[in-house]
Amino acid sequence: MKLVGRNLDKDGNGYITLVPEESEDMWHAYNLISEGNYVRSSTIRKVQTESATGSSTSNRVRTMLTIKVESVDFDTQACVLRLKGRNVQENQYVKMGAYHTLDLEVNRKFTVSKVWDSVDLDRVESCCDPAQRADVAAVVMQEGLAHVCLVLSSMTLVRAKIDQSIPRKRHGNIGNYEKGLQKFFENVMQAVIRHVNFEIVKCVLIASPGFVKEQFFDYTFQQATKTDNKLLLDNKGKFLLVHASSGFKHSLREVLTSPAVMAKLADTKAAGEVKALETFYAMLQSEPEKAFYGLKQVEKANESQAVEVLMISDALFRGCDVATRKRYVTLIETVKESGGEVKIFSSLHVSGEQLSQLTGIAAILRFPMPELEDEVDEEDSDDSDEEEEEKEPERDDQT
Amino acid sequence: MSRHRNVRTMNYDEDYEGYEDVYGHSVEDDYPSSPSGKPSHLCYLNVCTCNGISFLLVSVSQFIFDRSGSRAPQMSQFFDPENDIAEEPEEDGEMPRNRDVEKARQRLDSLTIDSAVDDAVAELVPEEEILLKSCLDEIRDVVGDSFLDKVVISHILHAKFNREKALDNLLSGVTVDPTNLSHVPKKMKTQRETPIVRPQPIKPKDPVVKVEAGPVKASSSGVTSISSKPVESLKVVPASSGKSVTVGFDIPKERSVTPSPVPDTLQPQQTNLKCPSPVPVKQETPKPSKKKDFKPDLALSEYTKERGSSKDLLNLLVIGHVDAGKSTLMGHVLFQLGQVPKKAMHKFEQESKKLGKQSFMYAWVLDETGEERSRGITMDIAQSRFETTNKSIVLLDAPGHKDFIPNMITGASQADVAVLVVDSTKGEFETGFESGGQTREHALLVRSLGVTQLVVAVNKLDTVGWSKDRFDEIKARLTTFLVRSAGFREAELIFVPCSGLQGENLTKTSTETDLTSWYKGPTLLTAIDELKPPERPVGRPLRISINDVFKGPGGQCIGGRVETGMVQPGDKVLVQPVGEVVTVKSITLDDGVGTTAFAGDPAIIALQGVSDANILFTGCLLSDPNYPCRVSSKFQARVVTFDAMTVPLVKGFTGVMHLGSLQEQVSVRKLISQLHKGTGEVVKNKPRCLMKNSNALIQLECSRPVCIEEFKDVKELGRFTLRYAGVTIAAGVITKVM
């Protein structure tokens, strides 16, 4: 992302103009733009014109439009951001108040005007930092199951999931098993070739329990030599074999924490997040009075300036009302003021997914606060009430 | 024209019952079109409509399709089940007579009755046809499809479209001479003193006992009373003739004036009766509540009949730390029992020598893949079979390496008893027994998967000079752990000193004086022989867990274990969670004895009618279509967390659940309450997190729907383990499926 223009007053009110450069930037844009913001961007619109004789013709024109955003849609797999809203600046083609849906495009600038808070500004800053780019492809696999993922700095995309049943070895009939395994490897290899852009990707992690990774690696390069696949042969050095306990997506967490990978990805957000979450779990295990989750408890802890590391999922900021958002922002700001570290997790990473399920907010404290333990019940009951409500319609379905 | 004919030949009333429930069905789904898939038709023809007892034929074909289980609810299910048992013997006696004596006549008769009815139908004017149709519909509502169309039609014609009367006649067993069918009824002949409309199955093998006594009761209680009840509960197409049902596809208008619905191959034009139309399979919405009606008696009696005399089957899992010598030990046992030809053994010896791994020669008996042999470790469960004096043993050799525990769990879920192999070499036992070692984890796993009897083979004792002290030390340490932490009963543990490589004390009492001087106990084999087989839940609805899917010589095959119930070739089974009904083509048991698989048996089953091989995968289930397994992604469970847990269990925690052969990603949705380890009382509601060695009630959610059962219903499918980052962190039982 490139920052091309910025005009803010002291309250943070104003506009920022950005140029997305890659698909991941759409994710940042998605997190920056919320309902009620004004977005200006170049777009294509079908315009109908009526001639003097009454015949109408329609043609597509490219025009600049400013809309007041009413809804934001993001497709995580295709990285497409669509903003729907009403036109607020009339031009020769589009009337005031007419609906339009903006598709943000790569390499076309867009301007967002709204009240910018510190979280937003941090995001703008971080996403415009070119040093933070580290593209890693990862294949987590076990016999019969593989996930081909792209780990970008702020999102993990599952590009392919290969789920295939491999016959078991059985007495006197090994052929089936080996054939099944070869076929499975072939599928995974094709997925890697199709989805991994070796020009961008720094390294390809192959993670599995047992020897599946070695077998797959051997198979891949045997095939590559056989078919003279330059693409794979040239990039052999980029492959890195790592241990993982299973082929499920959540094993990616183990992969990202392994020391060999950490060295390669030291400054990526993904690895940092995973590490912070691991620390949190470790703390919860060893000193449960120093690790808490849930907004209320963390806020309580923050009141006594106890928060050392605050982990918060970016999903919390999306689509919430101004008051709630303000509550989160204040929390983040006060933690920073008191010298704490704030990590905003991307909800598209495995660690972020996990944090989102863990109420989306967690903190490691400087000192134990056993008194907080007692307040658990009250908060959890709030949660469960909501869940109960969710469940009711399901029950109806069943009956 | 051709379209028209299709419509004419359709058997409407039977179609619609299924279509009512399931929208957008294709006809192919419901109609097994190949007659070869239904050997039962032969019999259907043979018994066919010998004069006067035409209902018999219906019953036979009925029965055969009952076995398949995918038929719609039968009226009989709504009647008192008690009567049926009393009736049974009488039927058994009767059936063979009919088949044998009247076989030749039947063929002739079947032709006569069919063509007679067809002729009669063809004579009808359109108005009468409509009338006939409406009567037929109404009668069908009452009796389901336990009568053949012809029979019903003949009764209707006989009663001159008076449906009450026709129904009465039908149910009270009055028979109509089909050759005399016309607008004027000729005579009514009572054939039997006991009116039996749906006799018992001929095959005594049937485990699903349908209640067959309905008609007897029905006839006595009168038509009006029965007509109301089944209509409600069956929810079939309403009887009014004017109603057009267009669910699934459009029905052309002509249908109201087409001749009465008769099975297509029995059309007047066609006198060739070689391939009768298959009786449509009706899709029934599964009602779990019906479980109460399940009758285990026949399955049980069948089980005792088939298996009563033979040796008890025992599924034996061999577990232990990596390199404890599991495969070598069991390979040597198999060799000593003569299961491995000398020639093959010699070959293994030569080849392993070539690789410089001569000590692995016995392990090669079980480790067959190239990968396993070259690396010298077992990677997947190897299955083999041998006999002891009193038992027939299915041997499952589990991998010991940490990374292959998922495979080991698959094996453990099939096991009844286990042999824990420990390496007695100095230092090796200790490594295996430490917290990271597999001795502990495996023992905990098999215990949590329901294994209670354990033989501990103290292996490689020759390396320590058959030292009694070492044996006693290992025994003491293991006993403490197995009894205290894993929850085995001391009485159910047997410790056997042995050497896998030397082959000492495996099948024959050892000749080593160092050992025999202090050890007088059983050999490994006798220890195994003394284990007690668990009770087999044969008398429950069928469940087969699939742990292997492959294309075999017989087509699409699955390898699996029959968890509960029994299965025979020709049975209809439901593939879950997909929900497709397929037919069992053949069953291969490991020992090749019999074709019927009972609970506890590992079996290879060839299936027919699998639309897409992808619906079968490791971890899915075959079950009785009438009593399907629960499919859900959310459930409540009582779990025990283990010592090896590195991260606490909190909300949102994601791990891998192993349930039988199934592996699925699950996340913790809710921590409901923490329970006291001993008493099970609630210690704390909604705990923040769960630490090591705690006991709790939690709610879990899988990433996709899976087949699960509550522990109290089916133990085998209600038990699971939870793993994360290569460690087993918890084991649990499902308390509530949501």
**Residue A81 near residue A103, CB atoms below 8 Å:** yes
Has residue B211 got a pLDDT over 60?
Answer: no
Distance, in angstroms, between B690 CA and closest chain A CA? 9
Query: Which chain A residues are Cβ-neighbours of B401 within 8 angstroms?
Result: 210
CATH superfamily of A136-267: eRF1 domain 2 (3.30.420.60)
Q: Are A284 and B726 an interchain contact pair (Cβ–Cβ within 8 Å)?
A: no
Of A142, A165, A355, Cβ closest to residue B617: A165
Q: What is the CATH number of the domain that holds B362?
A: 3.40.50.300
- Return the residue in A170, A171, A382 with the most chain B beta carbons within 10 A, the one to mutate for interface testing: A170
Q: Are A246 and B687 an interchain contact pair (Cβ–Cβ within 8 Å)?
A: no
> Per the structure, how many domains does chain B have?
4
Query: Which chain B residues are Cβ-neighbours of A289 within 8 angstroms?
Result: none
Q: Are B610 and B635 members of one domain?
A: no
Q: Is the pLDDT higher at A319 or at B472?
A: B472
Distance, in angstroms, between A209 CA and closest chain B CA? 5
**Which ranges of chain A does DSSP label H, i.e. alpha helix?**
23-32, 118-127, 175-195, 212-227, 230-234, 252-257, 259-264, 269-286, 295-303, 322-337, 350-357, 376-398
Please name the residue of chain A whose CA is at the shortest distance from the CA of residue B724.
A245
Q: Are both A2-46+61-130 and A136-267 of the same fold?
A: no
Nearest to B712 by CA among B683, B685, B736: B736
Query: Which chain B residues are Cβ-neighbours of A374 within 8 angstroms?
Result: none
Within a 10 A sphere around the Cβ of B127, how many other Cβ atoms?
9
The class that CATH gives domain A272-384 is alpha beta
Query: Which chain A residues are Cβ-neighbours of B691 within 8 angstroms?
Result: 285, 288
Of A174, A210, A249, Cβ closest to residue B379: A210
Has residue B24 got a pLDDT over 90?
Answer: no
Q: Which of B498, B529, B560 is the last residue of a domain?
A: B529
pLDDT of residue B70: 43
B705: in domain = yes
Mean pLDDT of chain B: 72
**Residue B490 near residue B479, CB atoms below 8 Å:** yes
Q: Are B635 and B619 members of one domain?
A: no
At A15, the pLDDT band (50, 70, 90 cuts) reads very high
Has residue B82 got a pLDDT over 70?
Answer: no
CA distance B136 to A141: 59
Q: Are A169 and B380 an interchain contact pair (Cβ–Cβ within 8 Å)?
A: yes
Amino acid identity, position A162: I
Token pair in block for residue B379: 């990677």
Q: Is the pLDDT higher at B556 or at B275?
A: B556
**Residue B112 near residue B180, CB atoms below 8 Å:** no
- Return the residue in B340, B364, B365, B371 with the most chain A beta carbons within 10 A, the one to mutate for interface testing: B371
**Residue A148 near residue A139, CB atoms below 8 Å:** yes
* Domain boundaries A2-46+61-130, corresponding CATH code: 2.30.30.870
Q: Are B551 and B409 members of one domain?
A: no
Q: Is the pLDDT higher at A73 or at B163?
A: A73
Distance, in angstroms, between A29 CA and closest chain B CA? 27
Has residue A140 got a pLDDT over 90?
Answer: yes
> Reduced to 3 states, what is the DSSP secondary structure of residue A147?
strand
Q: Are B688 and B601 members of one domain?
A: no
Q: Are B600 and B707 members of one domain?
A: no
pLDDT of residue B86: 42
Q: Are B644 and B498 members of one domain?
A: no
Of B369, B370, B689, Cβ closest to residue A284: B689
pLDDT of residue B404: 87
- Return the residue in A208, A211, A350, A353 with the most chain B beta carbons within 10 A, the one to mutate for interface testing: A211
Q: Are B173 and B218 members of one domain?
A: yes
B15: in domain = no
pLDDT of residue A224: 92
Amino acid identity, position B589: L
- State pLDDT tens for residues A343-394: 888 888 888 888 888 888 999 999 888 877 765 544 444 444 344 434 344 4
Q: Are B726 and A180 an interchain contact pair (Cβ–Cβ within 8 Å)?
A: no
Has residue B197 got a pLDDT over 90?
Answer: no
Provide DSSP, B462-513. Answer: GGGTT-HHHHHHHHHHHHHIIIIIS---GGGEEEEE-BTTTTBTSSS----H
Exposed/middle/buried for residue B424 (C-beta within 10 Å: 0-12, 13-18, 19+): buried
B321: in domain = yes
Has residue B304 got a pLDDT over 80?
Answer: no
Nearest to B148 by CA among B24, B206, B65: B65
Provide DSSP, B631-699. Answer: EEEEEEEEEEE-TT--S-B-TT-EEEEEETTEEEEEEEEEEEEEE-TTT--EEEES-S-B-TT-EEEEE
Q: Per-domain residue ranges for chain A?
A: 2-46+61-130, 136-267, 272-384
Q: Which of B529, B563, B584 is the last residue of a domain?
A: B529
ipTM summary value: 0.77
Q: The dihedral of CA B184, B189, B190, B191: what is its sign? A: negative
Q: Are A250 and B381 an interchain contact pair (Cβ–Cβ within 8 Å)?
A: no
B459: in domain = yes
Query: Which chain A residues are Cβ-neighbours of B379 within 8 angstroms?
Result: 210-211
At B276, the pLDDT band (50, 70, 90 cuts) reads very low
CA distance B462 to B482: 24
CA distance A327 to A352: 20
Token pair in block for residue B591: 């020992």
> Reduced to 3 states, what is the DSSP secondary structure of residue B598?
strand
**Residue B179 near residue B118, CB atoms below 8 Å:** no
Tell me the C-alpha to C-alpha distance, in Å, between residue B311 and each of A138, B304, B308, B389, B391: 52, 12, 8, 8, 5
Q: Are B598 and B658 members of one domain?
A: no
Of A176, A180, A354, Cβ closest to residue B654: A354
Has residue B238 got a pLDDT over 60?
Answer: no
Has residue B22 got a pLDDT over 50?
Answer: no
pLDDT of residue B147: 66
Distance, in angstroms, between B385 CA and closest chain A CA? 10
Of A165, A357, A381, Cβ closest to residue B652: A357
Query: Which chain A residues are Cβ-neighbours of B723 within 8 angstroms?
Result: 245-246
Q: The dihedral of CA B155, B157, B161, B162: what is its sign? A: negative
pLDDT of residue B533: 86
Please report where in the chains the tokens 């949705």 appear, as a residue.
Answer: B669
CB-based contacts of B184, cutoff 8 Å, min separation 6: none
Nearest to B455 by CA among B407, B420, B490, B415: B420
B284: in domain = no
Q: Are A358 and B650 an interchain contact pair (Cβ–Cβ within 8 Å)?
A: yes
> Reduced to 3 states, what is the DSSP secondary structure of residue A300?
helix
Q: What is the CATH number of the domain that holds B594?
A: 2.40.30.10
Distance, in angstroms, between A393 CA and closest chain B CA? 13
**Residue B371 near residue A212, CB atoms below 8 Å:** no
Q: Supply the Cα-derived Rg of chain B in whole angstroms.
A: 31
Q: Which of B623, B642, B676 is the last residue of a domain?
A: B623
Please report where in the chains the tokens 């790569």 appear, as a residue.
Answer: A106
Nearest to B669 by CA among A253, A359, A296, A348: A359
Please name the residue of chain A whose CA is at the shortest distance from the CA of residue B395.
A171
pLDDT of residue B509: 86
Q: Give the torsion through C-alpha atoms of B337, B343, B347, B350, to 10 deg.
A: 90
- State pLDDT tens for residues B394-452: 888 998 888 888 888 888 888 889 999 999 988 888 888 887 788 888 888 888 888 88
In DSSP terms, B567 is beta-bridged to: B597
Q: Are B408 and B549 members of one domain?
A: no
B414: containing domain: 312-529
Task: Identify the H or E element spanning B411.
Answer: helix B405-412
Q: Are B339 and B373 members of one domain?
A: yes
Q: Are B607 and B644 members of one domain?
A: no
- Return the residue in A147, A185, A250, A297 with the most chain B beta carbons within 10 A, the one to mutate for interface testing: A250
Please name the residue of chain A whose CA is at the shortest distance from the CA of residue B665.
A248
Distance, in angstroms, between B646 CA and closest chain A CA? 8
**Mode of pairing for the β-strands spanning B719-724 and B417-423:** unpaired
Q: Is the pLDDT higher at B137 or at B492?
A: B492
Nearest to B328 by CA among B358, B359, B362: B362
In DSSP terms, A363 is beta-bridged to: A292, A310
Q: Give the torsion through C-alpha atoms of B394, B396, B397, B398, to 10 deg.
A: -160
Query: Which chain A residues are Cβ-neighbours of B559 within 8 angstroms?
Result: 168, 170
Q: Are B404 and B481 members of one domain?
A: yes
**Which ranges of B75-206 does DSSP label H, i.e. alpha helix?**
82-101, 103-123, 126-143, 149-158, 163-171
Has residue B83 got a pLDDT over 50?
Answer: no
**Residue B616 near residue B563, CB atoms below 8 Å:** no
The arithmetic mean of pLDDT across residues B241-246, rounded, is 41
Please name the residue of chain B whose CA is at the shortest distance from the CA of residue A282.
B647
Q: Are B549 and A250 an interchain contact pair (Cβ–Cβ within 8 Å)?
A: no
- Return the residue in A173, A243, A248 with the most chain B beta carbons within 10 A, the one to mutate for interface testing: A248
**What backbone phi and psi angles, to 5 degrees, belong to B358?**
-65, -30
Of A165, A251, A376, Cβ closest to residue B618: A165
CA distance A296 to B671: 18
Query: Which chain B residues are Cβ-neighbours of A248 within 8 angstroms?
Result: 656, 665
Please name the residue of chain A whose CA is at the shortest distance from the CA of residue B382.
A170
Please report where in the chains the tokens 């267009």 appear, as a residue.
Answer: B246
Query: Which chain A residues are Cβ-neighbours of B547 within 8 angstroms?
Result: 168
- Return the residue in A162, A245, A376 with the most chain B beta carbons within 10 A, the one to mutate for interface testing: A245
Task: Identify the H or E element spanning A99.
Answer: strand A99-103
The half-sphere exposure of B522 on its side-chain side, counting CA atoms within 13 A, is 14
Nearest to B296 by CA among B624, B616, B619: B624
Has residue A100 got a pLDDT over 90?
Answer: yes
In DSSP terms, B695 is beta-bridged to: B640, B675
Least confident window among A246-250, B246-250, B618-622:
B246-250
| Helices B214-221 + B82-101 axis angle, to 10 | 110
Token pair in block for residue B82: 């008690």
Q: Are B549 and A167 an interchain contact pair (Cβ–Cβ within 8 Å)?
A: yes
